[in-house]
């Protein structure tokens, strides 16, 4: 599933790297030739990453093009449970790297990455690379207080509402209106 490499902190396993062939689904985004993403106002994109557990590291390389450069990065389990959520902001118009460590209690299969821009946000951002690496190979003890992620129910309901967009896409109808004369 991933590639292991040794560092002074132990074995690191690459779980996800957006520079490899990745399939994104969603709305209001553009996929660039080099694998980068351009997110516009109200963007919502999803990618399946597989199983996650233990202590992980998230690295995002990107820049703001216009506007404030804010977006939300979420990781959801297959059951819709929010495992990780972080509001990320690019401050510069040149490329910068943001690195965040996060913990996941237990082991979850079928996890998904969801990146979204708020309804009220404006402007565009460009993300050139996203990578998730597992720092510790073992799941964390669920009783440790500092590693628990507590999310509000409204965030979970908001994401479920947006996920229904993908489920209902086959039921939508499109009408074309062609005038007889101009």
- Model pTM score: 0.68
The reply to whether 177 falls in a domain is no
Q: In terms of pLDDT, which residue wins out, 129 or 174? A: 129
The reply to whether 179 falls in a domain is no
Which residue range(s) make up the domain with 101?
4-171
Exposure class string for 90-110: b at 16+ Cβ within 10 A, else e: beeeeeeeeeeebbbbeebee
Indicate which CATH number applies to the domain containing 150: 2.60.120.260
Domain total in the chain: 1
> pLDDT tens digits for 163-177?
665 555 555 666 667
The reply to whether 59 falls in a domain is yes
Contacts of residue 9, defined as CB under 8 A and 6 or more positions apart, other chains included, come to 135
The reply to whether 10 falls in a domain is yes
The arithmetic mean of pLDDT across residues 75-87, rounded, is: 90
Q: Would you state the pLDDT for residue 21?
A: 65
């Amino acid at each position: 599933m991933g590639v292991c490499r040794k560092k002074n902190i132990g074995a690191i396993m690459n779980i996800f790297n957006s520079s490899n062939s990745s399939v994104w689904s969603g709305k209001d985004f553009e996929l660039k030739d080099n694998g980068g993403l351009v997110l516009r106002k109200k963007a919502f994109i999803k990618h399946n990453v597989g199983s996650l557990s233990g202590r992980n590291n998230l690295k995002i390389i990107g820049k703001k093009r216009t506007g404030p450069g804010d977006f939300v990065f979420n990781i959801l389990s297959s059951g819709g449970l929010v495992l990780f959520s972080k509001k990320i902001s690019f401050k510069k118009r040149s490329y910068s790297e943001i690195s965040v460590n996060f913990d996941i209690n237990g082991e979850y299969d079928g996890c998904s990455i969801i990146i979204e821009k708020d309804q009220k946000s404006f402007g565009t951002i460009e993300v050139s690379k996203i990578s998730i690496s597992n720092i510790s190979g073992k799941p964390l003890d669920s009783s440790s207080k500092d590693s628990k992620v507590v999310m509000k129910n409204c965030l979970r309901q908001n994401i479920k509402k947006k996920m229904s967009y993908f489920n209902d896409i086959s039921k939508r109808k499109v009408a074309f209106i062609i005038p007889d004369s101009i």
